[in-house]
Amino acid sequence: MNRRAWLLFLLVSFLWGIPYFLIKVAIEDLSPIVVVAGRIAIGALVLIPVAAARGSLAKLRGHTGPVLALSAVHILVPFTLITYGETHISSSLTGLLIAIEPAVIALLMARTEPLTRSRILGLIVGFAGVAVLVGVDVSGDRWGLLGAGMVLLAALSYAVATILVQRRLSDVPAEALTGATTTISAVVLIPFALLALPSEPVGLPAWGALAILGVFCTAVALLAFYQLIGLAGANRAGLVTYLNPVVAVLLGVLLLDEHLAPSTVAAFALIAAGCWLSTRPTPAPTAGLAPTAGVVPAAEAVSQSAKVVAGLPSTTGTPSDK
């Protein structure tokens, strides 16, 4: 990857590592539904003008059904689950649980990406890490288990969204797609948020956290991530999943005085190792067993469709380092 790609990688890793900390700050004075709706609405106000300026909103025509579905599984459902989940568990635990997403994607893609021995081992190791993490951190706490379950459902929702974009929305530019999904989600949630507006004064930290969540962790992060995909390919871009939980844990421990046990570190190591094993590329076919002409291997198709989502031309070769 070139210097710009590395800078984008670090930017996205940070911007997707701090939401869990910011959510904790915001829900001190604001109800979860207000935090979710406010964050999404702010993101939409940033993304829609970008899409309009680029003239890409017209590309949404003919995709009403998939865009509505993506609004639910990529924005509405996971944002809500994570925010409500954090009312019961720590921000650092939330970030660590979300890290299982690549393994969930590998499991859901099993029909098109064969489950090799390495991938099966990765799935076992990764989900064992989740079991250890939940068992140690929230064992015996029914509300903690509920919060952890919400976050794991959010990870599943994100995984479904990734596959939906690849299969049904690969021809829609990123800024139009993210602008549409955040706008739709905001329209759904704002009426509920209006009923839950605070009756007591809200501190500046809560308002500041909400603004950062909307502008940077939603709008800027989404646009930066798709630029990273165009420069480095989908597989390399996905590696942010390994770094942003570290950011979440450091912020939680240093700024929120959250406890970090050795067992938690070990559990995250299992999750990271499992995700790495379960998402390794399938070995190239040996001579005499090459794919039929015109058939693109699934892993390569993911990279190509991701490039198209980013608004870049697709190629039939592997993304090269620059």
Structural domain count of the chain: 1
Nearest to 256 by CA among 14, 146, 93, 32: 93
Give the pLDDT means over successive 10-residue stretches in the chain (322 positions). Answer: 83 91 96 97 96 94 94 95 96 91 83 82 90 83 93 92 83 89 96 95 96 96 76 62 83 89 87 84 54 39 37 36 39
The answer to whether residue 287 sits within a structural domain is no
Contact 88, 144 (CB under 8 A): yes
Contact 301, 235 (CB under 8 A): no
The answer to whether residue 319 sits within a structural domain is no
The answer to whether residue 286 sits within a structural domain is no
- Determine the structural domain holding residue 33 and report its residue range: 3-281+295-309
What pTM value is reported for the model? 0.81
The answer to whether residue 290 sits within a structural domain is no
pLDDT score of 1: 66
CA distances from 166 to 160, 175, 176, 213, 256 (A): 10, 16, 15, 26, 37
Q: What is the DSSP string of 51-86?
A: HHHHT-GGGGTT-HHHHHHHIIIIIIHHHHHHHHHT
The answer to whether residue 316 sits within a structural domain is no
pLDDT score of 300: 40
The answer to whether residue 289 sits within a structural domain is no
The answer to whether residue 288 sits within a structural domain is no
The answer to whether residue 256 sits within a structural domain is yes
Q: What angle do CA 182, 187, 191 make, to 5 degrees?
A: 135
